[in-house]
Amino acid sequence: MSERKYRVAVVGCGLIGGKRSDVIVNDPRCELAVVVDPNEGAAKRLGERVGVPWSTSWSTVLAETPCDIVVVATPNAFLADIAVSALKGGKHVLVEKPMGRNIHEAIRMAGAATSTNQVLKVGFNHRYHPALMRAHEMYADGEIGQIINIRARYGHGGELTDQGVHVIDLISWFAGEPTEVFGYLQTAAWPIAPLEDSAFALMKFSSGALASFHTAWTQWKNMFSFEVFGTDGSVTVDGLGRSYGQETLIVAKRKKEGGAPYMSRTVYDEEDISWKLEWDDLIRGIETGRYMGTPNDGITVMRVLDAIYRASEQRTPIGLD
């Protein structure tokens, strides 16, 4: 740990800026220096709630307020410009997902991080849900063998660029490098065209693994289901807490002689600690260079998103090589 506290600025004082601020003010290694939002009411409300100064101008803050880390939690349209300015100003950055509006913005952010040698972390908080972390740890320890395929469902509350981003990141975290994708998009129940309220996609990986997912804004009772099937067993995560139902890890271990597998079931019913664990990982990244949600992880998701939209338009699988 460094001798003095990391000074942090949070840009964007909405739902996620508020969640991030709560974690930062409770981290003894950090000092929340300022919160920023062009909406004065939002900036003032959050600043007063967490007891720190607030501002309506991120460019003034970046120029004038000494800080080491900038959290960018604005609507997607502003993520890239603010993140790149912060990186060029010598700050480490935690930018919310998705990594900008498109692959070009993602690459621009990654380039700024490389050229300034700052940590750029993309906010993939789902990786830090305890059941998903444990599932990944079991996979990495060889407990389910080689991954054969993955099946994920997530809804409701958004389209491909919202919940789909988390699903694509989680699938790629387990299965590695995606090489080809296909998808169908549907706008059936909400007046959001050209955005979709359902996305069905297939992904193929360099290992030979396959994945399918469905993200939906028409999942009237919200749900999260993530199933990873390996040669020796499977890990399934159902629920993410609260309205998504108890976060539960179900493990099946294949019996070599066949028949019903050995089963175990663990419920994780503590409060959502993913935001705190993700913040710890950012600090680890700054101190050791090792962390998850790297620029490459973010770019992978953007490439897959871009390819699914093209695949659905062109009605053909799209290679990612």
Contact residues: ligand NAD, CB under 6 A: 11-17, 36-39, 42, 58, 73-76, 78-79, 96-97, 123, 125
Indicate the residue among 157 and 176 with the shorter CB distance to ligand NAD: 157
Q: Which is nearer to ligand NAD, 95 or 144 (CB)?
A: 95
Structure tokens given for 31: 């000092």
In the complex, least distance from residue 94 CB atom to ligand NAD, rounded to whole angstroms: 11
Choice between 147 and 301, CB closer to ligand NAD: 301
| Cα dihedral sign, 80-85-90-94 | negative
CB of 43 to ligand NAD, least distance (A): 8
CB atoms within 10 A of CB 32: 28
**Which is closer to ligand NAD, CB of 73 or CB of 211?**
73
Is the Cβ of residue 21 or residue 125 nearer to ligand NAD in the bound state?
125
Instruction: Give the nearer residue to ligand NAD in terms of CB position, either 147 or 160.
Output: 160
Count the neighbouring beta carbons within 10 Å of the beta carbon of residue 98.
26
Report the residue number, 143 or 306, with the smaller CB distance to ligand NAD.
306
Handedness of CA 212, 215, 216, 222 (dihedral sign): positive
> Which residue's Cβ lies closest to ligand NAD?
14
Tell me how far, at minimum, the Cβ of 102 lies from ligand NAD, in Å: 14
Q: What's the min distance (Å) between Cβ of 261 and ligand NAD?
A: 32
Q: Measured from the CB of residue 308, what is the shortest distance to ligand NAD in angstroms?
A: 17
C-alpha dist (Å) from residue 17 to 32, 36, 44, 95, 310: 12, 9, 13, 11, 32
Q: How far is the CB of 96 from ligand NAD (least distance, A)?
A: 3
User: From the CB of 289, what's the least distance to ligand NAD, in Å?
Assistant: 23
